[in-house]
Structure 1
Amino acid sequence: MLAESTAKQTNVPVTLDPSRIMQFGMGFWASKVLLTAVKLNLFTHLASGALSAKGIKEKLGLGASDRHVYDWLDALVSLGLLERKGLLDEALYSNAEDTDFFLDKNKRSYTGGILEMANNRLYKFWNDLEDGLRTGQPQNEGKGKPQGNMEFFTELYQNEERLQEFMDAMSGIQAGNFMLLVNKFDFNTYDTMLDVGGADGWLSVQVCLRHPSIQCTTYDLPPVKPLAERKIAQFSLSNRIRVAGGDFLKDELPKAGIVTMGNILHGMNEETKAQLVKKVYDLLPEGGALMAIENIIDDERRQNTFGLLMSLNMLIENGDAFDYTMADFERWTKAAGFKRTERIPLAGPTSAAVAHK
């Protein structure tokens, strides 16, 4: 048997290469290199100008050897996240174009909130993916607790600092998508918009900045209200964006011409998804629309890797929740009574799925 196995191994095509397998298997190395840079505000510091490795050590208060700081920074260079002129002691490091745009905290385009939460929360929970697949139960703060998949939110909303981190994460992961969306979709077609699960109101802010006629309501649980009011006031939009608090699954929702949801449906099981879609259909006027902004998985489930991984993240966070395809969305909205659907591609893996009444 051993001889037969050895003989088969000698016939392995020379074109096969294990590097892709190793890249994925050890992917947490690269992940932690980036997440640490975000945690230490490296990209925000470099947005002000290029720095040497010694200058970076001083600004970030790093005590590692010069060699290991070079390794960290040059790993970021090799990943395309930093640019560098010179080598080692003579090197000057600066942001790559995309990291400068998306990971400088002083820019409106900052999307690092989700990466901060990934570093502070999700990284350790993903170590228990195997348990999640075996049990179908959440692997976050609610693991092993009888309250089930919403325990995370129960704890989260009791701590304003952690709640703010979560709001920043939700805004961060969608910031680029929202900016694209308000230029691709004419919200002025509707007089009013209701953003269900609107977090800190970031989508409503983007819509109002781009579309001068529409009035918006951002709707989330009551503890989120002061965070949203602060964000909206920063843009002097308090007269156009109302902040409402409640449980969108249990309470009556305000009426609007278009209802939006950013990363909301994916956090529910299929039965609850269908119930919320029907609830929105019933409150919309004829000609109204439901818009879900999500990492819509391709119908063949082969291309949108991020969407599939996000769906596994919903297992970690909520147990029976999952991300979905456009075919899934069409099935739920058709069952509720919507007439037609369309998909608007946004940044990277994200799309806006729209159902018209």
Structure 2
Amino acid sequence: MKTTKTTQVDPSKIMQIGTGYFATKTLLTAVNMGLFTLLAKSPLYGQEIQEKLGLHSRSLYDFLDALVALGFLNRTGIKKTSIYSNAADTALFLDKNKPSYIGGILEMSNNRLYPFWNNLEDGLKTGLPQNETKNNGKSLFETIYTDPVKLREFIEAMTGVQKGNFIAFGKEFDFSSYNTLCDIGGSGGTLSAHVYLNNPHMKCTSFDLPPVESIAKENLQNMGLSDKVDLLSGDFFTDPFPKSDVITMGNILHDWGKSDKKILIKKAYDALPKGGSFVVIENLIDADRRKNAFGLLMSLNMLIETAEGYDFSTSDFEEMTKEAGFGHISIMPLTGPTSAAIAIK
């Protein structure tokens, strides 16, 4: 007798995603409290962690052991005999005292973004941002750039989320035929720094608004690159781009609507020589819009955060850059869901 194999429909994916905020908030809380930075100094008993972080005894071990189960902590013993230490990835990326720290984006997610996402439905129905703008009418950037604390948090977040990509770009892009680079919206100067570190013949300039300069200067001092990377203040919508062989933008275009994207792309085209490269480092959505879930979710975050911003696909990039006059287009995968889209003048 012939049997037919049936596919078992399983609800586990629905439950995992639907309750995913349990794990998300647990990790964000641990980062925000500095748990991984604390454990980077030495492994600790649970009660020692409780004392140092000012935690209540109720749920102490549930919290710590959840981080063990999620793979962020290692543990020997159990409950009162437990000794906790960082897993390899948290030790490298979530210790605030290491240059590899990427927790800035997680701190901002905890302190700003997490509550705003509760209003995603409102955003989908109105098309309006759901962040600070909702309360005082100021845009995201007006709100952040007038508050030194929020500005520093924002820059550290942007640096953290892109640091691995900037390092990969600095190593993998062929700079042999170029001498100058300008990073538009250069934030903390990290992209320029890693391009220089891997290509010391390059003269790099980080271009951003005046309030950013002091933070970028501090970052470059900490990296020992104060005299290696130039800082230039200006507004990339109102000021001309510096003439350079390479123009880069890291997570800049997705902040803006299509018309503003086109303005910035055309300004990049005008600032480049023939054969120059325009490079955009973003969570580029695949042309078929099926694979890069992070890029699509980041585009929803642009709904939450901006008036018109959205993440775009490789096809969108090709269309906009060719309209501006660029010729050859290529995509360089970097880390995770991020790529460098390259357009040649």
Fold shared, TM-score > 0.5 on shorter chain: yes
Q: Are the aligned partners of 1:132 and 1:319 in contact in 2 as well (CA < 8 Å)?
A: no
Tell me the residue number matched to 2:22.
Answer: 29
Matched, 1:196 2:184: yes
Q: Select 1:18's aligned residue among 4, 11, 14.
A: 11
Tell me how far apart the structure 2 counterparts of residues 223 and 171 of structure 1 sit (CA, whole Å).
16
**TM norm structure 1:** 0.92
Alpha-carbon deviation of 1:145? 5.1
Deviation string, structure 1 residues 230-257 (Cα, Å, up to 9, x no partner): 2112223222211111110111111111
Tell me how far apart the structure 1 counterparts of residues 91 and 315 of structure 2 sit (CA, whole Å).
36
Structure 1: 5+ residue stretches without partners: 1-12
Q: Which amino acid aligns with 2:35?
A: L
Matched, 1:167 2:159: no
Q: Select 2:98's aligned residue among 93, 107, 125.
A: 107
Tell me the residue number matched to 2:312.
Answer: 324
Tell me the residue number matched to 1:121.
Answer: 112
Tell me how far apart the structure 2 counterparts of residues 337 and 157 of structure 1 sit (CA, whole Å).
33
Alpha-carbon deviation of 1:133? 0.4
Tell me how far apart the structure 1 counterparts of residues 328 and 72 of structure 2 sit (CA, whole Å).
41
**TM norm structure 2:** 0.95
**3-state DSSP of counterpart to 1:93:** strand
Q: Are the aligned partners of 2:170 and 2:196 in contact in 1 as well (CA < 8 Å)?
A: no
* 1:266-305 correspondence runs (5 A): 266-305=254-293
Alpha-carbon deviation of 1:268? 0.7
Q: Select 1:77's aligned residue among 51, 62, 68.
A: 68
Tell me how far apart the structure 1 counterparts of residues 57 and 307 of structure 2 sit (CA, whole Å).
40
Instruction: Give every structure 1 segment of 4 or more consecutive aligned residues whose post-TM-superposition deviation is greater than 3 Å.
Output: 144-147
Alpha-carbon deviation of 1:188? 4.4
Tell me how far apart the structure 1 counterparts of residues 24 and 92 of structure 2 sit (CA, whole Å).
19
Structure 2: 5+ residue stretches without partners: 1-5
Calculate percent identity across the aligned residue pairs. 52
Alpha-carbon deviation of 1:146? 5.0
**3-state DSSP of counterpart to 1:199:** coil
Residue-pair matches, total: 340
Q: Are the aligned partners of 2:303 and 2:310 in contact in 1 as well (CA < 8 Å)?
A: yes
Tell me how far apart the structure 2 counterparts of residues 76 and 309 of structure 1 sit (CA, whole Å).
24
Matched, 1:92 2:83: yes
Tell me the residue number matched to 1:312.
Answer: 300
Deviation string, structure 1 residues 85-123 (Cα, Å, up to 9, x no partner): 222222222212111111111111111000000000001
* 1:147-162 correspondence runs (5 A): 151-162=139-150
Q: What is the CA RMSD across the aligned residues, in angstroms?
A: 1.5
